[in-house]
Structure 1
Amino acid sequence: MSVLDVGESGARARTRRAIIEAAISVITDNPAATLSDIAEVAGVGRSTLHRHFPERSDLLRAVALHVHAASNAAIEAADPTSGPIHAALRRVVECQLDLGPIVLYVYTEPTILADPELAAHLDTGDEAIAEILARASADKPEYPPGWSRRVFWSLLLSGYEAMKQDHTPRHQVVDAIMNSLTEGTIT
């Protein structure tokens, strides 16, 4: 069961899923979009949206949980613990970039990060990446705890920004992230 379903089935689950997917699409293009904008794209009325998500913060929480679950599934599918370290990192970088700029929004939106429980949950799921980064930097100078992980995610966030704001091609962003990782934190 995905976080989109939240124990629901049938039409109610499809409506909820449509609202969350519409929110992701709309917010990616316009972070200040109104609930009316999202309802219109979802093909539902505002009252229907409010039955599922009484407050904007409820919808943002659902979007954040969905994006986090998609990120974790992408990490698992990229299988970062197999093969050469650089190839594994490239797979992870590529799969995370494929999620799109909504990731940048979720992990930087103050409303989302203001919820301590949600923020703590969003800070989980990348243990396989942390492990491969630790292996890759084992023979490097000692960095502060968690440094490689922070650098990895910062580079991804920069990559999302470059793709969205500067229209930098995906392959250039992947190469830039990999060069930054391999030349900076993990040779």
Structure 2
Amino acid sequence: MAAPLSTEGGPRTRTRRAILEAAMVVLAENGTASLADIASAAEVGRSTLHRYFPERSELLKAVALHVHELSNAAIAHAEPDCGPAIEALRRVVESQLDLGPIVPFVYAEPSLQADKELAAILDTGDEAIVAVLDRVATQGTAGPPCWPRLVFWALLNAGYEAANMGTPRVQVVDAIMASLTRGTITSD
């Protein structure tokens, strides 16, 4: 797994971060965007982008690892082990929704999923989400044990789309929570 990006650092670290952040925005809007489009959004030359990421596949992998790192940090920041389960679940939903539509891109991009080592890394880190879903579930779940996790991510994907269509964030979060607590798992 790649080393986490430093929150500080020199120009090289800042440039790399600018490229990754721009790539997240550009690729979320257009998964087939060119490297030139990403370089432009990062406000760097294409040759600079190529110094950091000689191949598109390297940039995509770096974006995936960066998104994974951001997701894990957001989960930790949401403190899923603290407080009532429903409130913890809502914080987790909000934290993941804030990452935006780059998440479904990362998990649906065939070239990223074809890299078995990368796919294995991307399939980790949401254990705290599963744990909070288990805390909310008091009477079991419908479907196989993996069902709440799969539904959580499917609902987030729907949430990204709804937000993209202009649905207010609070309504998106409320809809995800209602679906999770009334439609997927049973709560008090």
- TM-score, normalised with respect to structure 1: 0.91
Match of 1:28 in 2: 28
Distance in 2 (alpha carbons) for counterparts of 1:111 and 1:26: 17
* Cα 1:34–1:66 shift into 2, 3 Å: same
Identity percentage of aligned residues: 64
1:156-171 residue pairs with structure 2 within 5 A? Answer: 156-164=156-164, 166-171=165-170
* Cα 1:12–1:104 shift into 2, 3 Å: same
Q: Does 1:65 align with 2:97?
A: no
Match of 1:144 in 2: 144
Q: Which runs of 5+ in 2 are unaligned?
A: none
Distance in 1 (alpha carbons) for counterparts of 2:140 and 2:11: 54
Shift of 1:154: 1.0
1:31-110 residue pairs with structure 2 within 5 A? Answer: 31-110=31-110
Moved more, 25-34 or 153-162: 25-34
Please list the CA deviations of residues 111-169 of structure 1 after superposition, one character each: whole Å capped at 9, or x if unmatched. 211111111111111111111212322422563121111111111111112212x2221
Moved more, 90-99 or 104-113: 104-113
Distance in 1 (alpha carbons) for counterparts of 2:181 and 2:17: 39
* Preserved contact between residue 4 and residue 62 of structure 1 (Cα < 8 Å): no
Shift of 1:9: 4.8
AA aligned to 2:132 is I
Distance in 2 (alpha carbons) for counterparts of 1:41 and 1:69: 22
Q: Does 1:4 align with 2:8?
A: no
- CA RMSD after TM alignment: 1.9
Alignment partner of 1:149: what SS?
helix
Alignment partner of 2:33: what SS?
coil
Match of 2:182 in 1: 183
Distance in 2 (alpha carbons) for counterparts of 1:154 and 1:140: 19
Distance in 2 (alpha carbons) for counterparts of 1:114 and 1:2: 22
- TM-score, normalised with respect to structure 2: 0.90
Distance in 2 (alpha carbons) for counterparts of 1:98 and 1:2: 23
Tell me which stretches of 4 or more aligned residues in structure 1 moved more than 3 Å.
none
* Preserved contact between residue 26 and residue 37 of structure 2 (Cα < 8 Å): yes
Paired residues, number: 184
